[in-house]
Chains A and B, each alone.
Chain A
């Protein structure tokens, strides 16, 4: 098991918001065990006639949740995450984008001290087909299988997962790390989990320009990973110095370029696909 399974009890902070309500509905369809939603001031009602809505995480603790999805506007994310951490939830997934990175830094540090896993911010969450999904990945792209996927980009995750599914393979766990400069998990953190997961036989890393997460992962793979790893890197055509959307995707002083990531992966024996759709082919080789 990687982080979640069908028994994982999930709450949603911001369940009545536009994103919160849509994706809670989708999670329920997927089979996620959503036990409560938080909407301060709206306690006592129900979501979709079945999920109780309460005013605070403290109040939701009666349902013994393990994980939370935070879908509140960026200025309120730190407070919501602290509320979840303070109540001892083990997995804190932050959907919201544009969270000030110093807020994230504090959230991640506090979580680390208490052995809490932070997913995101600005990522698609985690899916274990067909056990549980916390996040916003489209339901229909998954198939149960033995390929684990970790990615820094949301939509690119869908693209690659869908390609794996259509090629007749399936996924054991899919984790979106988040697109921001500071996020809870690194590739190394998830590689450890995937290497120890009996369901996972092969691993896909989806990286992008910026930072040195991929370079560090390559070093780690060389020394510690026995399972097959393949990769894709987005932004190989990006002009230096230009920010391609993600706050994380900026090439700073030659560090974190597509070339340095390709080189690192090559030297670790990790094949890198030219197109996202080529990943299944590399997995089969």
Chain B
């Protein structure tokens, strides 16, 4: 789960990472009396805010009020801005980059740092990027920071501050179960202080249960995807016309791949997950029907999921939602014979193999 910059900075502040003085407003009335030149930053979850006009600067009371009302009344990168962060303007001498994220191959966190901050890290040449795996058992230790700071050519006073920030950033990464913590830019001010001018904190959604209450809607999700998320389904909307319900991410992806190779266009990805519950099947139909497909393909290979449970769910969903579009079902695996019998008894054709079901559904309309 992506956090807004101001939330990331609240966490940074809590862990002792220096951030600019600032406050968040959601209406121009909440703007405090002007004292210093400030940066006014729209709070959206997409990058590229600056270029899209989502960050403004104000040197007077009037400029500040204008900036806040403008940002709150316009869309930035097509996102409605509901909150604006107002921060003391920094006197920037240099911009650095630092982040910690998972390295999948090493099954460990990786520290990435560069003296070339302020831009997208993808555009920084490889030889200017410091990368180092952190052993999760040993955790962060100052020797790692010294390696990084030597690579980046930091002078002693900055290096001391940098090591302190790294230690705390690692504490955030571990303490808040992050997928990613990133400071870009990490600013060196005119008076030689390192300050996190931005904060990107992404929390592992599987670990949300042990953290503070967040409720943030992913801006890249469609309303139907958000609804599915609320009901616990892995669901992605696509632009075709065949609704898909399958179990297991791999089999669901393979189903979409096979449909496309047969010139069928999937309307969605829906992974039932491992379930043994009729209502989960009925609700899956509810979601897929809302996407208005022209046909529905169910492809189940039962393991944790039982075929008879799915069959019962399909029969009940058909009655409940009065489904008129073709529903093509493939059931294999645990309790497959029982499952296919339930469907046949209710006049629904059921295949035992995936490919005939794929071929049938691509030819039903």
Contact = CB atoms under 8 A, between A and B. Distances in A.
A245 B304 contact: no
Contact of B256 (A99, A110, A232, A237): A237
* B contact face: mostly helix, strand, loop, or mixed: mixed
Contacts of A162: 301, 332
Contact of A239 (B174, B238, B257, B273): B238
Contact of B302 (A138, A152, A181, A244): A138
Nearest to A75: B209
Interface string A218-253: 000000000000001011111101111111110001
Instruction: Please indicate which of the listed interface residues B247, B269, B276 has the most CB atoms of chain A within 10 Å of its own CB.
Output: B269
Contacts of A19: 274, 304
Nearest to B358: A275
Contact of A238 (B174, B234, B253, B276): B253
Interface string A96-134: 011111111110111001000000000010000000000
Residues of A in contact with B, size category: 35 or more
B30 interface: no
A253 to B, nearest CB: 6
A59 interface: no
Contact of B105 (A102, A109, A216, A248): A216
B104 A181 contact: yes
Interface in B237-267: 238, 246-254, 256-261, 266
Interface string A137-163: 110010000000001111111110010
Contact of A155 (B102, B109, B251): B251
Instruction: Please indicate which of the listed interface residues B104, B304, B354 has the most CB atoms of chain A within 10 Å of its own CB.
Output: B104
A22 B302 CA distance: 13
Interface in B99-117: 102, 104-105, 107-109
Given A162-B332, A245-B234, A277-B355, A151 B250 contact: yes
Interface stretch (A32-40, A167-175, A194-202, A206-214): A206-214
Given A159-B354, A237-B260, A153 B250 contact: yes
B274 A97 contact: yes
A88 interface: no
Contact of B234 (A104, A113, A244, A277): A244
B204 A155 contact: no
B177 interface: yes
Contact of A108 (B107, B210, B301): B107
Contact of A276 (B135, B174, B333, B354): B354
Contacts of B256: 237-238
B102 A101 contact: yes
Interface residues of B, number: 53
B136 interface: yes
A50 interface: no
A18 B276 contact: yes
Given A154-B248, A179-B249, A243 B210 contact: no
Contacts of A99: 206
A215 B117 CA distance: 30
Interface in B174-224: 174, 177, 179, 204, 206-207, 209-210, 220
Contact of B261 (A137, A211, A275): A275
Given A211-B105, A242-B236, A247 B206 contact: yes
B334 interface: yes
Contact of A136 (B107, B304, B355): B304
B104 A182 contact: yes
B122 interface: yes
Given A100-B207, A136-B303, A156-B251, A234 B108 contact: no
Nearest to B258: A275
A275 B261 CA distance: 9
B301 A109 contact: no
A17 to B, nearest CB: 12
A264 interface: no
Contacts of B209: 75
Contacts of B273: 97, 245
A276 B259 CA distance: 13
Instruction: Please indicate which of the listed interface residues B206, B271, B334 has the most CB atoms of chain A within 10 Å of its own CB.
Output: B206
B137 interface: yes
A111 B251 CA distance: 30
A180 B204 CA distance: 12
Contacts of B107: 104-105, 108-109, 182
Contacts of A154: 248, 250, 274, 303-304
A51 interface: no
A156 B252 CA distance: 9
A109 B257 contact: no
A235 B249 CA distance: 9
12 contacts: A74-B206, A100-B204, A106-B137, A109-B107, A136-B303, A138-B303, A151-B250, A154-B250, A155-B303, A208-B249, A235-B253, A237-B260
Given A155-B247, A235-B253, 17 more contacts: A101-B102, A106-B136, A138-B303, A138-B334, A154-B274, A155-B248, A211-B104, A211-B105, A234-B249, A242-B269, A243-B234, A244-B269, A245-B248, A245-B249, A245-B269, A246-B249, A277-B353
